[in-house]
Amino acid sequence: MTDAMGKRVAVVTGASAGIGKAAAGALLEQGWRVIGVGRDAGRCTDAEAELAAIADADFTMLRADLSLLAETARVAGEIAACAPEIDALLNNAGGVRAERVVTAEGNEATFAANHLAPFLLTKKLMPQLKVAAARGAPGAVRVVGVSSTGHEHCPAMKWDDLTYAEGFTGGAAYCHAKLANILFARELARRAGPDGIVSHAMHPGVVDSNFASHCDAPMQAYMESIRDRANTPEQAADTLVWLASADEPGLTNGLYFYERLAITPSPAAQDDDAARRLWEVSEALVACY
């Protein structure tokens, strides 16, 4: 119990829609205090009204474009100012783009939003996570990243071309970032585990959400073709919420889950040397923020 009202505190990115909103709602129903982060002003307003209507909800919505590191650092500061202790950080926000976009900060937008933002946000909020871990039961503090089985289609990190200047497709860039998510979770477990912080990644399954709204036409067509087999955001959020709040995930560290079961990621996602290298490269890329 970490806030003044005795509630556990969770931060959920991408909380304005889809899996993130569903996860935020589920945690609020469990009695957590939840701080959500969203990008689109209209969706944030709608989500805030919906989630605040949950009985006894303690919900705050903050806005930030997580494809920009300056925005990510800013919102991290706002979160830290209102939450001295954080029990769970759910790095859920992400997405895929139809075209290659390089941000004003020089990063490929898919890699920035899906990997660099959660890396920077976690780094900035580490003091709050450590305080909660020092006061709580072993394994109670969690950082959970939303990855995808798409990582299996990326054989290795593109160390010499992280901005995807060559051979860009939206799907390939997305799979590259999802591989980074698992490597980050693995290395975070190694580095933060001694402080009592648990780090896991998960695959949400195919989800009927606004995920494909910025995809290219072939991916949008594919997503529409499997829509009748897709999980609802609430079904997909079940494992995410379980990883953040249940006792069992706190007994392990650095794993990858689907439907509450630990599964084996690709060989590239189990490469500890790559995980360490990605951490070092990411630290350099976010150093100015």
Query: For the chain, which residues make up each domain, given as ranges?
Result: 9-286
User: Which of 164, 174, 222, 289 does the annotation list as catalytic?
Assistant: 174
Please give the average per-residue pLDDT across 58-75, as a whole number: 98
Residue 88, strand partner residues: 10, 142
| pLDDT above 70: residue 279 | yes
* Pairwise CA distance, residues 284 & 279, whole Å: 9
Residue 231's pLDDT band, with cuts at 50, 70 and 90, is confident
Mean pLDDT, rounded, for 160-180: 97
| Verdict on whether the full-model pTM lies above 0.85 | yes
Which pLDDT does position 6 carry in this prediction?
Answer: 85
Q: Give tens-digit pLDDT for 70-84.
A: 999 999 999 999 999
- Enter the CATH code of domain 9-286: 3.40.50.720
Residue 211: is its pLDDT beyond 80?
A: no
Per-residue pLDDT reduced to its tens digit, 116-151:
999 999 999 999 999 999 999 999 999 999 999 999
Q: Express each pLDDT in 40-50 by its tens digit.
A: 999 999 999 99
Is a pLDDT exceeding 70 seen at residue 225? Answer: no
Q: What rounded mean pLDDT belongs to the chain?
A: 93
Tokens found for residue 4: 């003044």
Cβ(51)–Cβ(21) under 8 Å?
A: yes
Determine which of 96-110, 226-240, 245-259 has the lowest per-residue pLDDT on average.
226-240
Give Cα separations from 248 to 184, 244, 252, 270 (angstroms): 21, 10, 8, 22
In the residue annotation, 222 being an active-site residue is answered as no
